[in-house]
Amino acid sequence: MSLFQLLNGLTFAALLFVVASGFTLIFGLLRIVNLAHGALYLFGGYIGYSVAVKTGSFVLGGIGAMAAIAAIGFVLDQGLLRFVRGNELRQVLLTLGVAFFLNDLALVIWGGDSFTVPIPEMLRGGTRVFGTFYPIYRLFVLGMGIFVFIGLWVLLNHTRLGALIRAGVDDAEMVEASGVNIRRVFLFTFLFGSALAGLGGLMGGAFLSLYPSADAEILTFSLAVVIIGGRGSLVGVGVGSLLVGLLNTLGQVMFPELAYFVIFGPMAVLLAFRPLGLFGRAT
Amino acid sequence: MTQPVSKTSVLAGMTSRALVIAALVVIVAACLPMVLSSYQVGLATEVLIFGVLAMSIDILAGFAGRTSLGHGAIFGVSTYVVVYATGQAGLSPWAGFALGVLAATAVASVFALLAVRTSGVYFPLLTLALGMIVWGVCLRWTQVTGGENGMRADVRPAALMSHSAFYWAVLAGAVVVSFAMWRFVRSPFGLTLRGIRDSESRMRSLGYNVPLHLFIGFTVSGIFAGIAGGLYAMFNNFVSPSTVALAQSVEGVLMMIAGGVGTLFGAFVGAAAIIVLENIVSSYTERWLMVLGITFVLIMIFAPEGIIGKLRAITSRKVR
């Protein structure tokens, strides 16, 4: 694998991290498997694209995507998921229904063409990395992935909110009993996790482009990341993203048509030895 | 058409009342082509095929407590193999059908090997991811699968060319397969699956090999999904990635839930409800997937026990 391909793998892993960390936050704390996460990614990408094209600002596109997806997340959590609380399977299937709805809605609004989010002037072109010419934008994605990782790390480990989230992962009832409004923490986590999907949509939309089945693809990768990394673990998502991102790139280089099989292998091996993932804990 | 039921009932130990009902249903179903238009006969054929798929999902969901979101992929693998074997490889439809079911069983056993390691919500998650991988391969492996355009082949045997003849063949197949599934879930093995559904740890401490039972249950369920997929290949003479897509698995699960989880034969009611809905919706708008999503959400919120269960609950409330 050349340096170019290695960087491709790393930047894809960074994108996966941003998307899957939102997924695993919600999964870890609320015990909700949000299968609409892929659709939120795609929707975020489309909204970010529209905003970025209208205003000519990539940053505004990002803010728009995150705000809009957080709003959709609010409706999803407060409007629909509240009716099926406590029943994991019904939650899974309900979010799946929402995923179909959103995917089809996106097809109505934006049509079946593929879009690429315009990259801001500053991040266009390429630069030399250890002698290899590489697009700056993809390095920016890599940087964003690292930034989100550090941000989440600080949030979870060094703030009061993070302490509440971690406590909620371990024992939500105890947190509530000690006088904390855990519902609000839950809601915040859901909105924040959704917003990360929206941000991922914009970031990915600029180099993977947006098309009607992109949501299913990113959802598959996110599921693989979470299955490999384990539920609710930040480090797990990081390691899982790196593994899936690098393996996927390796697969595309070696067997371009069967790349999907390459992420299937480690998932299989891992499940045989650690059914809860690398960093998952039984609850 | 009543022949298979009355002949096998001796083995089955069905109560005479259940036997009469089953015979009546099959007779009515067999008479349908005489009153329906050929388009409606096609729909009825589809109901039977997807009913079998939904039943195969129900074996796991209703009796082992494991809801698979990957059965559409197992179903679709069979469809792909049947179309490929008869179209590209030039085999006879029957050999193609056998190969298709075999391939589906193999895929199901691989799924099962991994899925039995998981429990709770990880099971649907993993089966979904595995199904997506199959979909991704079918989409990208263009030399073999024809990619997004899919493949066309005249799979249907010459004797079954007419709508009614094919319907009757599928009906016969569905009757045999339904009976086999019904026997399967009522067998001692099926009772063990139910025990696992109710308490995995209890069954384990009683000395049952839980993973092995789940593995066999999953693989058997895959055989039936594969049969449905093979029939679908003959029905459609065409296959494309949408046959293995997530929507296929989801539709199957929705039919199973609409008919009532654990009712087995309810799957046909669910399949009929969803397929009729799909056709009504499709005649007004192209937004079927949107309606499917909304239906899914509504059923999850208002009628998770299925249409039949809901009706039963409503009527019993009225009686009281």
For the stretch B233-283, pLDDT in tens is: 999 888 988 888 888 898 999 999 888 888 888 899 999 999 999 899 988
> Which residues in chain B are closer than 8 Å to A259, comparing Cβ atoms?
136, 140
pLDDT digits (tens, 9 = 90+) for B199-228: 888 998 999 999 999 999 999 999 999 999
pLDDT digits (tens, 9 = 90+) for A237-283: 999 999 999 988 888 888 777 777 777 777 777 777 777 777 776 65
Q: Which residue has the higher pLDDT, A99 or A132?
A: A99
Asked if residue B230 lies in contact with residue B78, where contact means CB atoms within 8 angstroms, the answer is yes
**Subunit contact B297:A101, Cβ cutoff 8 A:** yes
| Token pair in block for residue B87 | 């179209």
Query: Does residue B1 register a pLDDT over 50?
Result: no
- Dist CA B92 CA B88 (whole Å): 11
How many CB pairs lie under 8 A apart between chains A and B? 124
Please compute, for residue A60, the number of CA atoms within 13 A of its CA located in the half-sphere on the CB side.
8
Mean pLDDT of B287-299: 88
Asked if residue B178 lies in contact with residue B55, where contact means CB atoms within 8 angstroms, the answer is yes
Mean pLDDT of A163-171: 83
- Dist CA B244 CA A224 (whole Å): 19
Phi, psi (deg, nearest 5) at residue A255: -130, 85
**Subunit contact A271:B126, Cβ cutoff 8 A:** yes
Query: Does residue B231 register a pLDDT over 60?
Result: yes
Nearest CA in chain B to A214: B136
* Per-residue exposure over A218-232, b if at least 16 CB sit within 10 Å of its own CB, e if not: bbbbbbbbbbbbbbb
How far, in Å, are A15, A42, A46, A88, A202 from residue A198 at the CA level? 12, 8, 9, 24, 7
Question: Model confidence at B7, in pLDDT bands (50, 70, 90)?
Answer: very low
pLDDT for residue B300: 86
Mean pLDDT of A167-188: 86
Query: How many residues in total does chain A contain?
Result: 283
pLDDT for residue B12: 56
Contacts of A110 (CB under 8 A, 6+ apart): A46, A50, A210
Question: Model confidence at A11, in pLDDT bands (50, 70, 90)?
Answer: very high
Instruction: Provide the ipTM.
Output: 0.81
> Which residues in chain B are closer than 8 Å to A216, comparing Cβ atoms?
132, 135, 245-246
Alpha carbon of B115: minimum distance to chain A alpha carbons (Å)? 9
**A104, A220, A275 ranked by CB distance to B289: nearest:** A104
pLDDT digits (tens, 9 = 90+) for B79-126: 999 999 998 888 888 899 999 999 999 999 999 998 887 777 888 888
Query: Does residue A128 register a pLDDT over 70?
Result: yes
| Token pair in block for residue B302 | 């208002």
Mean pLDDT of B121-150: 85
Alpha carbon of A261: minimum distance to chain B alpha carbons (Å)? 7
Query: How many residues in total does chain B contain?
Result: 320
**Subunit contact B114:A267, Cβ cutoff 8 A:** yes
- Dist CA A1 CA A246 (whole Å): 10
- Dist CA A230 CA A257 (whole Å): 28
* CA B74, B78, B83, B89 torsion-angle sign: positive
- Dist CA A61 CA A49 (whole Å): 6
Alpha carbon of B108: minimum distance to chain A alpha carbons (Å)? 14
For residue A133, the surrounding DSSP H or E stretch is strand A132-135
Alpha carbon of B21: minimum distance to chain A alpha carbons (Å)? 32
> Which residues in chain B are closer than 8 Å to A16, comparing Cβ atoms?
none
pLDDT digits (tens, 9 = 90+) for A69-92: 999 999 999 988 888 887 888 888
> Which residues in chain B are closer than 8 Å to A108, comparing Cβ atoms?
287, 290
Alpha carbon of B84: minimum distance to chain A alpha carbons (Å)? 18
Return the percentage of chain A with pLDDT > 90, whole number: 40
Interface residues from chain B to A (CB-CB < 8 Å) = 67, 69, 113-114, 117-122, 124-126, 128-130, 132-133, 135-137, 139-143, 245-247, 250, 253, 257, 287, 289-290, 292-297, 300-301, 304
Return the percentage of chain B with pLDDT > 70, whole number: 94
- Dist CA A222 CA A19 (whole Å): 7
Query: Does residue A207 register a pLDDT over 70?
Result: yes
**A31, A108, A227 ranked by CB distance to B287: nearest:** A108
Domain ranges of chain B: 36-242+253-258
Return the percentage of chain B with pLDDT > 90, whole number: 40
pLDDT digits (tens, 9 = 90+) for B52-84: 999 999 999 989 989 999 999 999 999 999 999
Alpha carbon of A18: minimum distance to chain B alpha carbons (Å)? 19
Burial class (CB within 10 angstroms; exposed 0-12, middle 13-18, buried 19+) of A179: exposed
